[in-house]
Amino acid sequence: MDLQLTGRVAIVTGASKGMGLAVTRTLLEEGAKVVAVSRRTTPELDALAGPNLLHVAADLMDEGAPARIVARAVEAFGGVDVLVNNAGGPPPGVSLPQFGFTTPDDGDWRRMFEFNLFAPVRLIREALPRLLESDAAAIVNVSTTMARQPGPMNYDYSAAKAGLANVTKGLSEEFGPQGIRVNTVSPGPVRTAWWTEEGGAADILAGATGADRDAVMDKVAPEMMNLVTGRLVEPQEVADAVVLLASPRSGSTTGAEVVVDGGSLKGL
């Protein structure tokens, strides 16, 4: 299926690994021009180098970053058609999961909201004038199932992502009539660096359950989270949903939430 993305210009945050890398790769395969945003590049991102890829090194917790990112996109490719706010999760120096309401302090809450809510809001605000110039503009915000299914852990993260989902709905109402579609993709647990890196979720849960880290990812976590598929989500599965929503082929889809969670959400 032709997703009609050839020549479209997309900004993707958190593009150096995991879901963002998969989104970047898929957009390039569909003929899009991609501005890949991350603090630093990776060998995997470097392997995608070509005339349609521009890496912009940026810390999204820097309030000046959005203006530089959009300016580079316009300078290199002439405009912006798609914005994928994928960067999120634990801010630098933070590991999740964190258990209990009293675990995060005020500083933790501020950093979590800065990274997962305020940074996307600032980038959307900066990109809007360029998106309004596009004849097929789309914003895709990556949230989490925890925004809809909170529990006694990761309070700050869940709340920040719930805020992002709310912003997405409001944007779809305000800017839909002006030609910008805005949607959410909400992954469940995805096999990314958040889980696999040393000191990440697999190690934290291994310490809490007494299992080894591989068993946590392959068996313990899927059982704890009631994943119908019996496994963690793969980054490419999330990327496929993101790119479809970014495509003009999804022209009547706006204000929607697409869940890619292995069946963890049980509510209607």
Domain residue limits, the chain: 9-190+234-260, 191-232
Give percent above pLDDT 90 in the chain.
78
What is the pLDDT, as a whole number, of residue 120? 98
The two beta strands, 33-38 and 9-13, are parallel
Q: Which residues of 206-219 are buried (b: 16+ CB within 10 A; e: fewer)?
A: beeeebebeebbbe
Q: Comparing 123-127, 143-147, 183-187, 205-209, which segment has the lowest mean pLDDT?
A: 205-209
Quick one: how many helices (H) and strands (E) in the chain?
A: 11, 7
What is the pLDDT, as a whole number, of residue 211? 80
Question: What is the reported pTM?
Answer: 0.94
Out of 157, 175, 194, 195, the active site residue is 157
Residue 231 binned pLDDT confidence (cut-offs 50, 70, 90): very high
226 Rama class: left (phi>0) / alpha (psi -120 to 50) / beta: left
In this model, does residue 218 exceed pLDDT 80? yes
In this model, does residue 195 exceed pLDDT 80? no
pLDDT tens-digit map of 5-64? 999 999 999 999 999 999 999 999 999 999 999 999 999 999 999 999 999 999 999 999
Judging by beta carbons within 10 Å of its beta carbon (0-12, 13-18, 19+), is residue 87 exposed, middle or buried? buried
Separation CA 214–CA 231 (nearest Å)? 12
Residue 96 binned pLDDT confidence (cut-offs 50, 70, 90): confident
| Neighbour count for residue 42 (Cβ, 10 Å) | 14
What is the pLDDT, as a whole number, of residue 204? 80
What is the pLDDT, as a whole number, of residue 142? 98
What is the pLDDT, as a whole number, of residue 200? 78
In this model, does residue 113 exceed pLDDT 90? yes
Interval 119-139 mean pLDDT: 98
What is the pLDDT, as a whole number, of residue 267? 81
Fold entry, domain 9-190+234-260: Rossmann fold (3.40.50)
In this model, does residue 192 exceed pLDDT 90? no
Residue 214 binned pLDDT confidence (cut-offs 50, 70, 90): confident
What is the pLDDT, as a whole number, of residue 178? 97
Is 157 considered catalytic here?
A: yes
CA angle 34, 121, 83 (to 5 degrees): 20
What is the pLDDT, as a whole number, of residue 241? 98
Question: Average pLDDT, whole number, for the chain?
Answer: 94
Of the candidates 108, 76, 72, the one whose C-alpha atom is nearest the C-alpha of residue 90 is 108
Interval 163-173 mean pLDDT: 97
What is the pLDDT, as a whole number, of residue 215? 80
